[in-house]
Amino acid sequence: MTRGVPRKLGRYEVAEVIGTGAFATVYRARDDRLDADVAIKVLAENHSFDADLRERFISEGHLLRRVDSPHVVKVFDLGETEAGQPFLVLDLAGGGDLAARRRRLGGAAPRLDELLTVARQVAVALGALHAEQVVHRDVTPGNLLVRGTAAVPPSATLLAPGERLMLADLGLSKDLAATSGLTVGAGTAGFTPPEQGVGGWVDARADIWSASALLVWLALGETPATHDAWQEPVRRLGWPDPVIRELERSLSAQADQRHPTAAAWIEALEAANAPPPAPTGPAAAAGPVDAAPRRPRRRGLAALAAAAVLLAGLAGGWWLGRSTADDDPYGRTSVEQLSGGRARATTTAGSSSVAFTGPRSATVGQTATFTAALEGVETATWLAPDGKSFPSGTALELRPTSEGTATVRLLGQTADGDVLVAVLRVEVRAAS
């Protein structure tokens, strides 16, 4: 056994040191009861009797126990050494971290599809944390561990087939269920959004900023904070302009300009990277008649605005318990029941459709999320129950304040100027 490495930690046989930091040391160890290798994170001895740091370390274990996701490190046990140092027994990630994987590529930049694979897994991890009202506050390549393959992948990729990322280290996380969103300045330089760096108010959108900075860093080896003209280099790597625009949005200095959720963030990035649909029908065979982009018809824009005004008048107050007639002026909505108490509302006209999914019931004080899916629609707008309208983007988040029936609408305008409206009524119940 190497000098300085304990032989045992509790009932666990220690094999080696696999990571060190200012606050903790991580060991590879053997759990004979489970017949498995684990990672044990031990708070440094000089910090173990600092009440604040000790409490934060133990809270990390409790937070990890609350989160159930294959992309967030699991905690199996919490113990204490003979010297009084608390330790966490964690999932072992044998593939190192994302920072090491990026360094292994040298000067080569990962392909955009590889980065979106990373983004998907990060979004799932963040979604699981945010569902528990936890803001990570330190989404960095060093805190994204690789699980699945102990050996270095044969090809120069960030992740080999069968590997997955696990978000780790909640030492700086913010539990919004227990405290306010007000934060002190914390986090890793370059991966910290403006409001967090100055000790402002944080929520899930702080992590979305950090995750976006992570993608830029993986591509360029620099964060947007250190390379404020990052757009042109990634454009030269072949990134489409719509993807760059979505990242610019999520890297906005204003939190309310960013994507509202991790799910909305990844859906927007993937939609921006999707190739345009291939033309079909006789016109496709003959080739385009006019290569210039088709301008939206003015009557269509006017119709969409008129529809929004009309339906806003029908919407009534904010979650006041009043429902409108079953039909809207522009067509009947088909509502399909989905699993998990959700539904899909769809209105179709020819090859165009406006649809969205959301819950059939909601609870007072809790957020309800609605996600749009559009086909053959040039412009779309959400209409909330209080009559306020929002750009369709990909998701609408609402928080009801009273019981009753609330109506959510999604309006879409086709290239021909037709307006489609999908409608879903949500029953709002009191919190139990």
Catalytic residues: 138
- The DSSP secondary-structure symbol of 328 reads B
Start-end of H helices in 274-372: 282-286, 298-315
Q: How far apart are CA 183 and CA 201, in angstroms?
A: 6
Q: How far apart are CA 381 and CA 294, in angstroms?
A: 20
Helix (H) or strand (E) holding 391: strand 389-391
Strand order in the sheet with 8-9: 8-9, 12-20, 24-31, 36-43, 86-90, 75-80
Q: How far apart are CA 401 and CA 28, in angstroms?
A: 49
Specify which residues 15 forms β-bridges with.
none
Classify strands 419-429 and 361-363 as parallel, antiparallel or unpaired: parallel
Collapse the DSSP code of 414 into the 3-class scheme (helix H, G, I; strand E, B; otherwise coil) and give the result.
coil
**Are 255 and 193 a contacting pair, CB within 8 Å?**
yes
The one-letter amino acid code at 189 reads A
**Are 395 and 369 a contacting pair, CB within 8 Å?**
yes
- The DSSP secondary-structure symbol of 143 reads G
The one-letter amino acid code at 214 reads L
Place of tokens 């402002």: 200
Q: How far apart are CA 42 and CA 244, in angstroms?
A: 41
Helix (H) or strand (E) holding 370: strand 368-375
Structure tokens at 366: 């809790």
Q: How many CA atoms lie within 13 A of 403 on its CB side?
A: 4
**Are 270 and 397 a contacting pair, CB within 8 Å?**
no
CB atoms within 10 A of CB 304: 25
Specify which residues 354 forms β-bridges with.
347, 374
Q: How far apart are CA 12 and CA 105, in angstroms?
A: 35
- Total residues belonging to the chain: 432
